[in-house]
Every structure is written in structure tokens, then in C-alpha cells.
Amino acid sequence: MAIVVNKPLPEFEANATGGIKVSNTSHQGQILVLYFYPKDNTPGCTTEAMQFRDKYKDFVKAGAAVFGVSRDNMKSHDDFKEKLELPFELIADTEEKMCHMFGVVKNKIMYGKKVKGIERSTFLVGPDGLLVQEWRGLKVPGHVDEVLKAVKSLKALKKAA
């Protein structure tokens, strides 16, 4: 089942570092940021993780939980998280269930060969469990600030309601 903006997330459950289970209902009442990235310990993914790390306190202050998602296994995630001192958890989607549900598995050309890869994408889920906004095929520079701005405006909307 595909995800649609302004609709609830379909049912899912995934394991994250820190022994945490994340599901479509595990963070209701809280803003949820899910950022999908291709691979641990690659230049772009390391930069993106460090930018989320550096703004993490601002996300928490704005009422958001942040999770990174990739196809890497838990050992790779634990090492990546420790190496970069990430304050948020990473979801190991080794079977690509979430990647397919969110539609981020794309055919890419790497070194002249067609491969299936993860398109760098971020999804913002409101406290009511509805998908509020999505960024697909994004570039790392400036992206984390854009997501934080969207989280803050979502929190402002919630207060006004």
C-alpha cells in the first residue's frame, strides 16, 4: 500500500537501534520525521545524519521524533550511530518493507550498471498519524533546515487549533 499526503500511514512495524520498535501508531501525539537514506558510512548519508544530529535538540523542542531509515542491518546501524554520536535511532529495513511502502526504492545507474537503490527522501507525519509532507529525490545541503521549518510550522498549527 502506497503512502498518500494527508492520509494516515498504512500499518507497519520496524526494528530500530536501541531495541525500539517503530510502527504507524507508536508515535501518535508526536510529530514524526522519517528520513530514508541509501547507505551507512557513505559521504552524503554521513553528512545528512550529522546535520540531523546537529539540529536534533531543535527537532525535540518542536515536538518531533527523528528516525533514519535504510536497508543496512542493525550491526551497521549501531556502528554508524556510535561513530557519529547520533542522538536518534536508526531503523533497519533489511527486507525493504518500509522502503517499498514509502516508494523510495528506485532504479539507479551506478558505475554504468542498473541497480536498485534508495532515493534520499524525508517524510513528515503529524501527531494525528497523517502524512503531512514529503521530500523526494532531495539534495542534502539545506534539507534538514527545511524539514525543521516544516516541523515548527506544524507545531504552531497544532497550538493554534
Q: Which residues are catalytic?
A: 45
CA distance linking residue 115 with residue 18, whole number of Å: 31
16 alpha carbon, distance to own chain's centre: 12
- Decide: helix, strand or coil at residue 3: coil
CA 52, CA 66: separation in Å to the nearest integer? Answer: 8
Asked if 148 contacts 59 with a C-beta cutoff of 8 angstroms, the reply is yes
Burial class (CB in 10 A: 0-12, 13-18, 19+), 6: exposed
Closest CA to 31 of 54, 69, 51, 58: 58
- Residues 126 and 29: their CA atoms lie apart, in Å, by 8
Residue type, 69: V
